[in-house]
Amino acid sequence: MPASKKKSSPAFEESLDKLELIIEQLERDDLTLDSALLHFEDGIRLMRACDSHLKHAKGKLRELIKGENGEFITKILGENLESFTGGEQNDG
């Protein structure tokens, strides 16, 4: 397997599943402080990975919904652009 494939980040869904498991672990009463800190660090890393995936997907979506002249299409199937991009509409 190429080195670039080995270092790739896990899929969004996989990261989210791992994050949910970490949350379950952190909610337990029997964790040591050191173990809780390790879980917390892993959780922060996974949250950042999920955030990165979401930002990347949002960027792709914004590119896909641009009009022919580079302006953003404001309505798609009855939904406004703001619902897809979180309100960061480019007003031209």
Say what the pLDDT of residue 1 is: 42
What pLDDT score does 82 carry?
58
Per DSSP, the residues of 19-64 read HHHHHHHHT-SS--HHHHHHHHHHHHHHHHHHHHHHHHHHHHHHHH
What six digits make up the tokens of 33? 């402080």
Q: How far, in Å, CA of 90 to CA of 78, rounded? A: 19
pLDDT of residue 6: 44
Strands 79-80 and 75-76: antiparallel
**pLDDT tens per residue, range 37-90:** 999 999 999 999 999 999 888 888 877 777 677 776 655 545 555 555 555 544
What is the tens place of the pLDDT at every residue in 20-52?
999 999 999 899 999 999 999 999 999 999 999
